Amino acid sequence: MDEIRQWIADGNAVLGIEFGSTRIKAVLIDKEHRPAASGAHDWENRLSDGIWTYSLDMIWDGLRDCYARLSDDVREKYGIGITKLAAIGFSGMMHGYMAFDENGELLVPFRTWRNTITGEAASELTELFSFNIPQRWSIAHLYQAVLNGEEHVPKIRYLTTLAGYIHWKLTGRKVLGVGEASGMFPIDAKTGTYNKKMMDRFQALPRMQAYPWKLEDILPEVLPAGECAGTLTPEGAKLLDPSGQLQAGIPLAPPEGDAGTGMTATNSVAVRTGNVSAGTSVFAMVVLEEDLKAVHEEIDMVATPSGDAAAMVHCNNCTSDLNAWVGLFGEFAEAIGCKTDTQQLFQTLYGKALEGAKDGGGMVAFNCFSGEPVIGLAEGRPLFAHRPDAPLTLADFMRTHLYASLAALKIGCDILFKEEHVKVDAIYGHGGLFKTKGVGQGILAAAMNAPVSVMETAGEGGPWGMALLAAYMVRRKEGESLQDYLAGKVFAGETGSVMQPDPEDVRGFDAYIEKYRAALPAEEAAVKALPV
């Protein structure tokens, strides 16, 4: 404790802060890259005029509260305040749309990744580029605004993501890490920046001739991991820490998305490694040996924080519906006088799922709180159904909902592994789905038909991954790659717990997916029958 206290007092600690979908979390790491303190602020997106969004006040109030809670944790553990840091890094939920005018004013409310309102634009751009453009990408949001004739579009002078916005306001620099930038506009792996040919095609579109800006002028500069992306300004220091204790001049790492920090936090930035992040949303990423043979709407081509090509299957929905059912069972337990904590609820109900029929019995569920592009849904409605002759057992019910949380991901990953024959040596799981030991991990192994590892550090998640990226910037040796830095200095000797896929579970999940696909028209009908 004395050693860590002195490390923090001397300004050597590194801070990572990530804006997740339901929580803003800060992690301070010591010289061994271990978390030394943390702070968090819970928040929730809201549906306003048909747009999933967070207000600017929510962003800044949340950041300040998160940092204040981190500072309180440092005082409680070490008896000191934070005045200096070796480095800071910010990350956030991927992509989305934040457009600003010449005065730096936000033109329309922040449009998050959760919105599925850009189908027309995404389809046209995919055809134009011969490259899949997902609905959540910034360029899809921009072009949809063009197609809609939205009045703010001519006024745009800067377009960025949530992580890029925070970084800009704290440093004055309009930059992004290459991983996050790859979700704004396609990246050319050879140049490490936006694809020039695709940018020229976009700019040549007849609709784009009416605007006073060019795309290359409104997008952030792209930086790889390890580059310095500016320093904390005096104004930025006050935004982060209104108490005035934190000093300006601290170097900041390139801001990244939660995909890049998840890869970093699981040591899966090397070729033929992959990771699955499973929480409010779920996504799988695999670093590729070679390009895919075809364009697939279900698979996004993005980049690691170092700029290597990675294939991503991203699904908007994962544990929200599952958590809601667990909450319902908890409410019932309380109603009959049985006191139980949340951890016990999850362990009991998840454990029960292991007793269920391998294919979920006669049940099917859709976990779609919002739209799910991988299965062609612009909107979603959580839905559960079962055959009248099927026994309604708790075990089958829980297995069905665990399958539902990963069903869309499995559909996308089946394309990656069964059609494209992508090779992967290791898959690492992290996020809330894996907190109950062995259950979510086993279900994922069945979904992907591959061994899945969960490390002891998996629970630290994105903010720890962002702190590692910031540490890499200031502690790496000349010419040391991110892959080598992580393998040698952070994860040396750590392999985590590995679960092999159970062949019966694999066959059961495949059978469940057949039911799931067959029942998709029922989900589509529910969207029409239950308008929001």
pLDDT digits (tens, 9 = 90+) for 49-102: 989 999 999 999 999 999 999 999 999 999 999 999 999 999 999 889 999 999
Residue 388 maps to a domain: yes
**Both 197 and 274 in a single domain?**
no
**Both 328 and 346 in a single domain?**
yes
Residue 296 maps to a domain: yes
The pLDDT tens digits for 143-168 are 999 999 999 999 999 999 999 999 99
Residue 332 maps to a domain: yes
Residue 136 maps to a domain: yes
- What is the number of alpha carbons within 13 Å of residue 266 lying toward its C-beta? 32
Residue 375 maps to a domain: yes
Residue 434 makes CB contacts below 8 A (sequence gap 6+) with: 278, 440, 441, 444, 454, 458
**Both 104 and 207 in a single domain?**
yes
**Both 293 and 439 in a single domain?**
yes
Residue 478 maps to a domain: yes
**Both 198 and 111 in a single domain?**
yes
Do residues 358 and 507 lie in contact, with contact meaning Cβ atoms separated by under 8 Å? yes
**Both 395 and 418 in a single domain?**
no
Task: Provide the token pair at 178.
Answer: 């290459």
Task: Provide the token pair at 527.
Answer: 């969207």
Residue 80 maps to a domain: no
Do residues 389 and 495 lie in contact, with contact meaning Cβ atoms separated by under 8 Å? no
**Both 402 and 432 in a single domain?**
no
Question: The domain containing residue 477 runs over which residues?
Answer: 268-317+412-499
Q: How many domains does one find in the chain?
A: 3
The pLDDT tens digits for 286-320 are 999 998 999 999 999 999 999 999 999 999 999 99
**Both 326 and 347 in a single domain?**
yes
**Both 363 and 508 in a single domain?**
yes
Q: Give one word for 281, left, alpha or beta, with left for phi > 0 and alpha for psi -120 to 50.
A: beta
Crossing angle (nearest 10°) for helices 56-78 and 162-171: 70
**Both 207 and 330 in a single domain?**
no
Share of the chain above pLDDT 90, in %: 87
Cα pseudo-dihedral 255, 87, 157, 178, rounded to 10? -30
Residue 55 maps to a domain: no
pTM of the model: 0.86
Q: What pLDDT, on a 0 to 100 scale, did the predictor assign at position 460?
A: 67
The Cα 374–Cα 392 span in angstroms is 29
Instruction: Indicate the burial class of 177 (C-beta count within 10 angstroms; 0-12, 13-18, 19 or more).
Output: buried
CATH code for the domain of 307: 3.30.420.40
**Both 486 and 509 in a single domain?**
no
Roughly how many angstroms between the first and final C-alpha of the chain, as a whole number?
53
Q: What pLDDT, on a 0 to 100 scale, did the predictor assign at position 344?
A: 93
**Both 197 and 344 in a single domain?**
no
Q: What is the 3-state secondary structure (H, E, C) of 356-409?
A: CCCCCCCEEEECCCCCEHHHCECCCCCEEEECCCCCCCHHHHHHHHHHHHHHHH
Residue 207 makes CB contacts below 8 A (sequence gap 6+) with: 146, 147
Q: Which residues in the chain come in under a pLDDT of 50?
A: none
Q: What pLDDT, on a 0 to 100 scale, did the predictor assign at position 435?
A: 84
